Amino acid sequence: MKKELKVFFKIFTTTKDAIEKFMNMLNPVIQNASDDHERLYYHHIYEEEEQRLSRLVELIPLISKFEQEKDEKDFTPTNNEFNRLLQELNLEKFGLHNFVEHLDLALFRFTDTERSTLLNELRDVSYRDYQQVKELLNEINTRFDHDYVDPHAHHDEHHDHLARPASPTVVTKSKRKKGFTVGSLL
């Protein structure tokens, strides 16, 4: 479990930094929104990421505490603090998933080179991290066999709709173009 905790620590520290970059990008967009709908839309995404940030500020030290101070014997489903850790990690798996989608939605709108380059970087890292968190938690949830039910399992069963097609750059670009009309998007 120590090995997994090290990975979680790295991933959630990385995504905390990514949230801050994304929030900084959204800030002027909210300030300069051209109408109420646009303002609410970005403000809403901003707040959801802000909520996630606040949770990570609590979670990261908890991961660190388990990694550094606890023994393998503490990693049992009868340990309440460990259960809480698992619950939080399961919640932040969805946090990462939703972040990837926030970035994808932003990529439709912020098509200038500077922002789309940063968004694509954040997107690629977050998607990879989401996959790894999902894999690790699947394995951990099986190992500890508590009664956790993954509300997303039925989505993942047949396909992973977050995945980019085989040749990401080319196909994704053309896919995006199809749906994109300048000025028509919120």
Task: Provide, rounded to whole angstroms, the least separation between the CB of residue 65 and a copy of itself.
Answer: 15
Is 65 near a copy of itself (CB under 8 A)? no
Q: What does each C-alpha distance from 186 to 28, 98, 150 come to in angstroms?
A: 15, 18, 32
Is 7 near a copy of itself (CB under 8 A)? no
Residue (43 or 70) nearer to a copy of itself, CB:
43
Is 166 near a copy of itself (CB under 8 A)? no
Is 24 near a copy of itself (CB under 8 A)? no
Instruction: Please list the alpha-helical segments (H only) found in the chain.
Output: 2-31, 36-69, 80-109, 113-144, 153-158, 168-179
- Return the SS3 of 77: coil
**Total residues interacting with a copy of itself, rule: CB under 8 A:** 43
Residue (2 or 81) nearer to a copy of itself, CB:
81
- In the numeric block, the tokens 């967009």 are attached to 29
Site for a copy of itself in 29-58 (CB under 8 A): 34-41, 43-44, 47-48, 50-51, 53-55
If one counts every other C-beta atom within 10 angstroms of the C-beta of residue 163, the result is: 10
- In the numeric block, the tokens 């014997």 are attached to 73
Q: Which two tokens stand for residue 178?
A: 């199809």
Is 185 near a copy of itself (CB under 8 A)? yes
Nearest by Cα to 90 from 24, 150, 30, 22: 150
Contact residues toward a copy of itself (CB under 8 A) are: 34-41, 43-44, 47-48, 50-51, 53-55, 80, 84, 87, 91, 94, 97-98, 101-102, 104-105, 108, 149, 151-152, 155, 161, 175-176, 178-180, 183-186
